[in-house]
Amino acid sequence: MTYGPGAKALLAGVAFAASLAGPLAGSALARTNYAVVVGVTEYPQLPRSAWLVGPRNDALLVRDYLLNQSRVPFEPANVAVLADAVEGAREPTLAAIVETLDAMAQKAGPGDFLYLQFSGHGFQQTAADPATETDGLDEIFLPKDTGRWVDRTQGMPNVLVDDTVGAAIERIRDKGAFVWVVFDSCHSGTATRAAPGDDVQERKIDPEMVGMPAEVLYEGAATRDLLAREAPVESEATSAASTRKGGMVAFFAAQTNETTPEMPLPKGAEGATRYGLFTHTIFSRLSENPSVTYRQLAEGVLQHYASINRTSTTPLFEGDLDVPVFGLELEEFVPQWPVKLAGSGVTIAGGLLNGLVPGTRLAVMEKAGDTMDKAIGFLEVRSADNFTSRLVMAPPPEEPEAPAGEEALAPAEPAAPEATSLRVKTLADIPAGAYARLVETSFDFTLTVARPAPSDTHPERVAMVNAMLDTLAADDTQPMRIALVEPGAAADLRLAVMAEAELPDAGLGAGTLPTLWFLPESGELSLEEGRRPPSITMESDDRKAIGEAIGQYLLRIYRATNLARIGQGSDYGPQEVDITFTLRRQGTGEEVPIETTSLPFGQPGDRVHVRAVNNSGAPVDINVLYIGSDYSITFMGQERLQPSATLDDEFIEFTEGVYGKELMVAVASEVVPLKATLDLSYLEQPGLRATTRGAAPQSVADLFDAMGAAAMTRAAKPSSSRAEKKQRGSVTIFPVRTMPRS
């Protein structure tokens, strides 16, 4: 297996021999589980501007999850934490990290499991052996005692080089242990942040911070072929002993030409702690459903990035991705927790990471295996932290009314008990040994928009934009819901008012007219051809035309962003509805699989082939949509597939124009008797031009309708203990990055 562009970061010399290694030798209970958790916050030999906040919190989050939430046992003595200002932890220096990795290589044995976490700064420097690197650069992780750059031959003192990490991991795998390594760090990234978040910091080191001439990095970057794939250095995987080699999975927060952020999370939570977005997303998705494969976990991470409009960071995933996380047997996960009664309060060992935000409703179940019709009461989350929720009494959920004429077609389901039949009227009525089961979760389709920052150059234009935003937000007739926040606050979309000529990378001939820019969550703005964000050039005072343009832009961004938000996984079992996308290169005819966990590159003339097979035993409607980087939504087609039927067709060809990260969305929905084929073509919309001068759902189908109505909806989460049959569906997102043909 080969690495994707930049995927080699810190793992040179590690061969992902998935076909040669068993997932996990021995049972999850018989093995020993180890962890090394590194979080580097302070860099005493580097400028204070290079220091971070989140890595220490990442280390605490990971440690607490492994010791208290993981479904496999991690003994405290086997979890080594190297982080700043953490009680009982070692300082995250180079010597301490290397020593700890060596100790793990000594301890690990056949069938054991090792989790590795590296949070902090990543960087690049000239390779010790240039022959091993296609761009002449080593990927490095910066421990606490990293020093300033010396010269091209000596580089930076006390850095953890990719070869060192790779060699340590290989020694552990050679012992027969499985390794899962997570790097929440990045290496570069050059886009201008025209509207950054106040609480968001990119884990990025600039060459001048470490005393390195910029050309050392840029010479290598200039020769990097984004379409190339680097092959790993081969390991000793040809002998008979290789069949006993441990498996491996690696999660990378970003490719080598990107950055990754840390920020207060969960977004919008009062007093939120700053974490690495990558680490927090991994453990949030894992907490919501721990019974997944590494591939499914990776898909959940990418879907979350799409849902928050994070377009500038592309996580990368390699290795034995189809192995269950932590090597556990896959089984249907029921989101429920034992109720803990303490005085007058009720708590459960599930919190924000499990998606239990304030207002979430849970049913009180006397026994873990009871069906929902046996609920004896209902609770609601009053407050929550990462791992704990405090609950209060709540009324039972309202049953949705069936549409007229469909009562006879609706599948029979055991209804929730009537309020008068519920035994639990107060917290004191909850019996010992009861469980709190998640019964409703929220899909909030609100688009959070950060206002433009004040401008000394264009104060009147900023005031005009703010007034128009206020009007749109207060207009209940608008087919969208937007929430306005101050400049720099957490947001899905950031606005900025400035002329092209005011940007640091503006060239000759840059425009001088005031322009309203519509920027993604990261606030990045690039003037590179084909990658410019949507904008409105406000050359006139025609408030009506400008206001209408702003409204249309926000509506299209709202719909495209929320379409990505719906991708919440699948109600179908493995391979029941099998959908694959293949990229066919122009000229060569080469076929490149488009996977949910990788980011292939498409160029003008390349075509996308879609194949869907219905193995579910019931008719299924298939819709295919394409979300462009310009917020366009293209309806690629739809078809009803009878059992065992196959859809096999080419749907789209890439053209010149707008480039960037784009999404293909495959929607599968179980057919309701006597209903027409689900048709999502009404979601189609044109993209936004780079400049404009002048002016609670019960099924997947219901979610799309709710999105169009700008609603906060609640949906019942499926549970293996429920006997009812519900209309099944799935939404799967396949990412691709388009770029000009060189």
pLDDT at site 476 = 87
Q: Are residues 517 and 636 in the same domain?
A: no
Question: Residue 635's domain is classified under what CATH number?
Answer: 2.60.40.3880
Q: Are residues 585 and 548 in the same domain?
A: no
- Cβ atoms of 598 and 298 within 8 Å: the answer is no
d(CA 607, CA 594): 12
Residue 171 maps to a domain:
yes
Give the tens place of pLDDT for each residue, 525-543: 888 776 788 899 888 778 8
Give the tens place of pLDDT for each residue, 395-415: 887 654 444 444 433 344 445
Q: Which of 217, 282, 254, 228 is nearest to 9 (CA)?
A: 254
Distances (CA, A) of 559 to 297, 555, 658, 684, 708: 25, 6, 19, 9, 7
Q: Are residues 653 and 521 in the same domain?
A: no
Q: Are residues 482 and 573 in the same domain?
A: no
Backbone phi, psi, residue 665, to 5°: -120, 120
Residue 698 maps to a domain:
no
Determine the average pLDDT of the residues in 502-511.
79
Residue 708 maps to a domain:
no
In the chain, % of residues over pLDDT 70: 80
In the chain, % of residues over pLDDT 90: 43
With DSSP H G I counted as helix, E B as strand and the rest as coil, what are the percentages for the chain, rounded to 5?
20, 25, 50
Neighbours of 192 (CB within 10 A): 15
Q: Are residues 677 and 638 in the same domain?
A: yes
Q: Which of 563, 587, 608 is the last residue of a domain?
A: 563
Determine the average pLDDT of the residues in 328-351.
87
Q: Are residues 281 and 322 in the same domain?
A: yes
Q: Which of 232, 333, 215 is nearest to 7 (CA)?
A: 232
Residue 705 maps to a domain:
no
d(CA 340, CA 423): 18
Q: Are residues 612 and 673 in the same domain?
A: yes
Give the tens place of pLDDT for each residue, 346-366: 999 999 998 898 888 999 999
Residue 696 maps to a domain:
no
Task: Give, in degrees to the nearest 5, the angle at Cα 113 between 110 and 119.
Answer: 140
pLDDT at site 187 = 66
d(CA 527, CA 507): 9
Residue 695 maps to a domain:
no
pLDDT at site 273 = 95
d(CA 105, CA 115): 12
**pLDDT, greater one: 332 or 40:** 40
Distances (CA, A) of 551 to 416, 477, 522: 42, 12, 22
Virtual torsion, Cα 346, 352, 354, 357, nearest 10 deg: 70
Residue 21 has pLDDT above 50, yes or no: no
**pLDDT, greater one: 44 or 306:** 44
Give the tens place of pLDDT for each residue, 631-640: 888 888 889 9
Determine the average pLDDT of the residues in 184-188.
78
d(CA 217, CA 137): 8
Residue 524 maps to a domain:
yes
In the numeric block, which tokens belong to residue 129?
Answer: 């052996």
Sign of CA dihedral 62, 67, 68, 71: positive
Sheet bearing 113-119, strands edge to edge = 79-83, 33-39, 113-119, 178-184, 248-252, 316-319
- Residue 54 domain boundaries: 33-327
d(CA 220, CA 225): 10
Sheet bearing 493-498, strands edge to edge = 482-485, 447-450, 493-498, 515-519, 535-537
Q: Which of 293, 327, 361 is the last residue of a domain?
A: 327
Q: Are residues 242 and 292 in the same domain?
A: yes
> Which residues lie across from 379 on neighbouring strands?
362, 393
Do you know the residue count of the chain?
Answer: 742
pLDDT at site 443 = 67
pLDDT at site 29 = 57
Q: Are residues 547 and 572 in the same domain?
A: no
Q: Mind giving me the DSSP string for 469-532?
A: HHHHHH-TTSSS-EEEE-TTSS-SEEEEEE-GGGSTT--TT---S-EEEEE-TT-EE--STT-P
Question: Which residues lie below 8 Å from residue 162, measured CB to CB, with a gap of 6+?
Answer: 8, 9, 10, 11, 12, 13, 138, 139, 140
Q: Mind giving me the DSSP string for 527-590?
A: -STT-PPPEEE--S--HHHHHHHHHHHHHHHHHHHHHHHT--EESSPTTTEEEEEEEE-TTT--
Residue 10 has pLDDT above 70, yes or no: no
In the numeric block, which tokens belong to residue 74?
Answer: 């991690």
> Which residues lie across from 580 on neighbouring strands?
611
In the numeric block, which tokens belong to residue 28?
Answer: 């999850």
Q: Are residues 216 and 296 in the same domain?
A: yes
- Cβ atoms of 644 and 619 within 8 Å: the answer is no
pLDDT at site 344 = 66
Q: Which of 341, 367, 365, 337 is nearest to 353 (CA)?
A: 337
Residue 480 has pLDDT above 70, yes or no: yes
Residue 44, judged by CB atoms within 10 A of its CB (0-12, 13-18, 19+), counts as exposed
pLDDT at site 442 = 64
- Cβ atoms of 587 and 606 within 8 Å: the answer is no
Name the DSSP class of 437: E
Residue 229 has pLDDT above 80, yes or no: no
Q: Are residues 254 and 345 in the same domain?
A: no
Point out the least confidently predicted range of 167-176, 641-650, 681-690, 704-713.
Answer: 704-713
d(CA 521, CA 661): 14
Tally the domains of the chain.
4
Name the DSSP class of 324: B
Backbone phi, psi, residue 281, to 5°: -70, -40
Three-class SS state of 591: strand
First to last CA, the chain: 26
Can the peptide bond before residue 604 be classed as cis, meaning omega within 30 degrees of 0?
no
Q: Are residues 552 and 583 in the same domain?
A: no
Q: Which of 384, 418, 439 is the last residue of a domain?
A: 439
> Which residues lie across from 216 on neighbouring strands?
none
Neighbours of 334 (CB within 10 A): 18
Q: Which of 661, 110, 24, 109 is nearest to 293 (CA)?
A: 24
Q: Which of left, alpha, beta for 274 (phi over 0: left; psi -120 to 50: alpha)?
A: beta
Question: Residue 427's domain is classified under what CATH number?
Answer: 2.40.10
- pLDDT band with cut points at 50, 70 and 90 for residue 420: low
Question: Which residues lie below 8 Å from residue 328, measured CB to CB, with a gap of 6+?
Answer: 28, 71, 72, 290, 291
Residue 699 maps to a domain:
no
pLDDT at site 702 = 62
Give the tens place of pLDDT for each residue, 248-261: 999 999 887 788 99
What crossing angle do the helices spanning 162-174 and 94-107 adopt, rounded to 10°?
20
Question: Residue 115's domain is classified under what CATH number?
Answer: 3.40.50.1460
d(CA 104, CA 348): 34
